[in-house]
Amino acid sequence: MIPLPLGKIPSQNLIRQVNPETPVRDTGFYKAIAVDALGVLSALSLGYIYHGYLSGAFGIALVLGAVGLYGTFTVLQAFLSKGLSHRFFVLFLEVIALLAFFYGTDIRLLGISVGILLALIFWGDINGRLVLDNGLQVKFFKAAFPVLKKFTTAMAIVLVLLYIPQWDQSRLFISENHFRVFYDWASGFVNKVYPEINLDSSFENL
């Protein structure tokens, strides 16, 4: 008989040898979280830049660039968001971030701005999702159009509203000529998308 080697015999724990499947989160989950975070950050940046624009610190090109960046993340969120309730919560954070630098503005004006942003952007997200759900093939631009349409309309209205407190000429940092560029762009877009709404693209008619 062969003698057994002296020493401790390693325990054979069959339960520990079984490696149960560890649940792994879909990579899309982390992408959606990253896009949500960047969306909130881009909204905050837009609010900061537009506030600086009204005080004369930044130019109109930087404002339009910030709007475009935030709009890009808004479209991506329509594709990647895991549910309407989650999207609405993130959108609420974005709206708060965008308006954070206007905390001294009339509360009624801020309330209207919050309502417009939430209603129109969320409406655009729903329309974009409907296009995705009803199509056999995902066509990015077809699904992105209703999102961008409502987003740009919301931006055009709210950014003009936020200019109203600056109308007092005694503390007007930005001239009417400079703001005319933005107003003409905003009113021109709204008139093209909604012909029944007459904003008159002429700034003098205000």
Give residues with Cβ within 8 angstroms of 157, minimum separation 6. Answer: 116, 120, 186, 190
**Per-residue pLDDT, 132:** 76
Which of 165, 47, 158 has its CA nearest to residue 99? 47
What tens digit of pLDDT does each residue of 171-202 get?
A: 444 555 555 665 565 555 555 555 545 555 44
Tell me the C-alpha distance between 146 and 125, whole Å.
Answer: 8
The answer on pLDDT for 157 being more than 70 is: yes
Check the CA dihedral 103-105-108-113 and report its sign. Answer: negative
**Per-residue pLDDT, 81:** 73
In single-letter form, the type of residue at position 175 comes to S
Nearest 5 degrees, angle CA 15-CA 21-CA 24?
145
Give residues with Cβ within 8 angstroms of 110, minimum separation 6. Answer: 99, 102
Q: Are 204 and 179 in contact (CB under 8 A)?
A: no
Which of 24, 38, 22 has its CA nearest to residue 77? 38
Q: Which helix (H) or strand (E) holds 128?
A: helix 107-134
Q: Are 118 and 91 in contact (CB under 8 A)?
A: yes
Cβ atoms within 10 Å, residue 71: 19
* Count of residues making up the chain: 206
More confident residue, 96 or 146: 96
Tell me the C-alpha distance between 49 and 67, whole Å.
Answer: 10
What tens digit of pLDDT does each residue of 89-107 get?
A: 999 999 999 999 999 888 9
The answer on pLDDT for 63 being more than 90 is: yes
